[in-house]
Amino acid sequence: MKIVERPSPNHDSRDGQVIDILLLHYTGMPSGEVALEKLCDPNAEPGRVSAHYCIDEDGLTYRLVPEDRRAWHAGVSSWAGDSNINARSIGIELINPGHEFGYRPFPEPQMTSLIVLAQGILTRHGITPDRVLGHSDVAPLRKEDPGELFDWRRLAASGIGVWPTDETVIGEMSGDLRDADGDMAQLQKMLHEYGYAVPLDGILNNETRLVITAFQRHFLPDRLSGTPDAATQGQLRRLLDGRRHSSGSDG
């Protein structure tokens, strides 16, 4: 694929850390050019940021930072108990105004370029499907990107990331777990097991609500309620079951 070189000075060493996460973002800026300038700005306030790639809405793909360098896109973040996300990830920014400046669907040419780019990255680094994540997955208290309009299901169909296979039950489930203490603790435990940084106190506090919202943004975008309903629990269970099966098949 054609890649335009647009080098950013904002990177440093991975210090030997192996790459095992692909992290997806939207730029969340008024225009693509403003976003690219910021990602390449050595004097950006309040802090310097970057990503390895940035894909415009017309599909044009920019390389900002070489893959073997650490780009600065994750910020304070955590997945599966590890907060060293920049060192172990490749970051792709998708140009989109985001929730602050007019969130809109990701156009077809942008998705096509992303799929080609991501397939290459996963192959080069052997990143497992369940470690293709959104910024909101690793920073659920601060971030909403790439957001509920991002088509994770389609990505999974192209071999990038995971999507639960059996969805037939979701429509039938409407129960609410808020009154069931045991279920709240169980849901937190499952979110934690999947990789989310979530309290394990059995209480539906604001932090837990934000983590549930992040999960829904990724895996239940049509039901973005922030409430711990049975559909959320069902989707989580399918993901955890799917992971057990896939890790089991490796022996």
Residues 6+ apart with CB under 8 A from 189: 200
Show the site string, 95-134: x = touches Zn ion by CB under 5 A, - = not: ----------------------------------------
133 or 187: whose CB is closer to Zn ion? 133
Active-site residue (options: 93, 100, 172, 207) = 93
Least distance (Å) from Zn ion to the CB of residue 211?
Answer: 17
Asked if residue 145 binds Zn ion (CB under 5 A), the reply is yes
Look up 37 and say whether it is catalytic: no
Name the β-bridge partners of 54. Answer: 62, 93
Over the window 19 to 38, marking each residue x when it contacts Zn ion by CB under 5 A and - when it does not, the resulting string is ------x-------------
Residue 137 as a binder of Zn ion (CB under 5 A): the answer is: no
CB burial string 30-65: b at 16+ within 10 A, e below = eebeebbebbbeeeeeeebbbbbbbbbbebbbbbbb
Nearer to Zn ion, 144 or 229 (CB): 144
Question: Rule CB under 5 A: which residues touch Zn ion?
Answer: 25, 135, 145
Active site residues: 93
